[in-house]
Amino acid sequence: MNLFNLRRTPPSLEDLAVEPCLAAADDGCASECLMPSVPRPQTVFVRGQGSWLWDSNDRTYLDFTQAGAANSLGHSPSVVVNALAAQAQSLINPGSGFYNRGMLKLADRLCRSTGSDQAYLLSSGSEACEAAIKLARKWGQLHRGGAAGIITASRSCHGRGFAALSAAGLDASGNRFEPQLPGFSQVPFNDLPALHAAVDAQTVAIMLEPIQGEAGVIPATEHYLKGVERLCRELGILLILDEVQTGIGRCGTLLAEQLYGVRADIIALGKGLGGGVPLAALLARGKACCFEPGELDGTHHGNALMTSAGLAVLDSLQEHGFLQQVRTHGQYLGQGLTRLASRYAQGEVRGHGLLWGMSLADASAEAVVKAALLEGLLLSATQPDCLRFTPALSVSKGNIDEMLLRLARAFSRVRTAQLQCRKGVVV
């Protein structure tokens, strides 16, 4: 079957105006029983392979979100499927209070591959960030007179736990479930003087994303990140890098810190580590290794089934030429997006590897996402005026070309709707 010929029939402007159905049904199952979390279109997906998804009506979609970059090798990659199937037949979860081979092997592989001294395995990037905060404050109790302050960047995102929400510089309009946890302060991203001014005797760590994903794919400059590392070394405080999105090959290197030539004391990993299943890791180096038994635990942490997926992902990433291909295809994607942005008078294209963002000329990102869905293309909007692209690390140049064609049609559809000002069209 030639998937590139499975293009959707161009929808009408009235189709673009339709809001997502709030009570989507599939085989008699409706969505009313789900607690509201994120807005979802009525599409129900039933199958995926590589860069493609099929819905319950057997329509095909080209996926350039990949579960927010969690599906590092695409949908249902054979290496992950086979690893899970084989592991499930022998051992799934003996309990976090016992060793299993996958736990020991994955922790060892992560430490050897990243030059870390210790690793702890969790279920989500949010948990990894929360654990990083705990570890930094534990270190502050031991080595910095009880200092507990952590400086983060404005508009950052470190997850949805209480500590992570308090650490993040989210818009004040969002529900952050006040009161926040104390001990966090935010300064503008890529602003070294502001960071210098914010550090005081109560500061124990600086926590940053190498690329701010939710803020609109804003990369740190090399000068900035190296300056942050230098500041941490001079003052004797910890550098925490949240690599939940940028790690595990997403930027064309195993960790984004390698791209920038810096070295963190603590690293949070998630998303792509499990290749689509819930798996995350906390890495610590040198003086930051100070957790003791009983201070971290979780029912599913380091379970045999999930760690088998993580090992399969690492095996693929460390195959000869894989990360070079990510860099090559990432450059190809960035160039294609830049041409498209110029053609449709959009804004800046930013990113590294296979993590890219496109600023739009106006707040039409949601309209473009809806139009793209009707064209059989899945995209995400991180800001009202920004699109994010996180394809599978195994994406082909053919997939990229097809995505650019479908995105161009989505832009044309939104432009037409804007020009005609048709009632009900979201722009």
Instruction: Compute the distance between CA of residue 213 and CA of residue 228 in angstroms, rounded to an integer.
Output: 19
* Cβ atoms < 10 Å from Cβ of 245: 28
Strands 45-49 and 52-55: antiparallel
Cis check for the bond before 179: say yes or no (omega within 30 of 0).
Answer: yes
Q: Is residue 116 within 8 Å of 267, Cβ to Cβ?
A: yes
- CA pair distance 219, 228, nearest whole angstrom: 14
Sign, CA torsion 206/210/216/218: positive
In this prediction the pTM is 0.91
Q: Annotate 182-221 with three-state secondary structure.
A: CCEEEECCCCHHHHHHHCCCCEEEEEECCEECCCCCEECC
Tally of CA atoms within 13 A in the half-sphere of 358 that contains its CB: 28
Distance CA 303, CA 99 (A): 9
User: CA triplet 217, 221, 226: central angle to 5 degrees?
Assistant: 130
d(CA 267, CA 136): 11
| Residue pair 105/281 in contact by the 8 Å Cβ criterion | no
Phi, psi of 143 (to 5 degrees): -125, -5
HEC-encoded secondary structure of 295-353: CCCCCCCCCHHHHHHHHHHHHHHCCCCHHHHHHHHHHHHHHHHHHHHHHCCCCCEEEEC
Q: How far apart are CA 203 and CA 273, in angstroms?
A: 30
The kind and range of the H/E element at 86 are helix 78-88
Render each residue's pLDDT in the chain as its tens digit; 427 residues: 445 445 545 444 445 544 444 344 455 566 788 888 788 888 999 999 999 999 999 999 999 999 999 999 999 999 999 999 999 999 999 999 999 999 999 999 999 999 999 999 999 999 999 999 999 999 999 999 999 999 999 999 999 888 888 888 655 446 667 888 899 999 999 999 999 999 999 999 999 999 999 999 999 999 999 999 999 999 999 999 999 999 999 999 999 999 999 999 999 999 999 999 999 999 999 999 999 999 999 999 999 999 999 999 999 999 999 999 999 999 999 999 999 999 999 999 999 999 999 999 999 999 999 999 999 999 999 999 999 999 999 999 999 999 999 999 999 999 988 887 545 544 4
Structure token pair of residue 33: 């029983």
Classify 80 as helix, strand or coil: helix
Please give the pLDDT value at position 138: 98
Q: Which residues pair with 48 in a beta bridge?
A: 53
Which residue's entry shows tokens 């791209």? Answer: 259
3-state secondary structure (DSSP) of residue 134: helix
C-alpha 54/C-alpha 61 separation (Å) is 6
pLDDT at 163: 87
Give backbone dihedrals phi and psi of 272, rounded to 5 degrees, phi first: -65, -15
Amino acid at 169: G
Rounded CA separation 151/204 (Å) = 8
The answer to whether residues 356 and 331 touch, using CB atoms and an 8 Å cutoff, is no
CA distance 290 to 349: 41
Please provide the CATH number assigned to the domain covering 78-318. Answer: 3.40.640.10
pLDDT at 174: 63
Amino acid residing at 313: V
HSE-CB of 133 using CA atoms within 13 angstroms:
24
Burial classification of residue 321, based on how many CB atoms lie within 10 Å of its CB (0-12 exposed, 13-18 middle, 19 or more buried): exposed
Sign of the dihedral through C-alpha 165, 167, 170, 171? positive
* Residue 175 pLDDT: 60
- Domain residue extents for the chain: 78-318, 321-381
Helix (H) or strand (E) run with residue 317 in it? helix 304-317
Q: What is the dihedral of CA 23, 29, 33, 38, to 10 degrees?
A: -50
Residue carrying the six token digits 């029912």: 299
Q: What is the pLDDT of residue 30?
A: 65
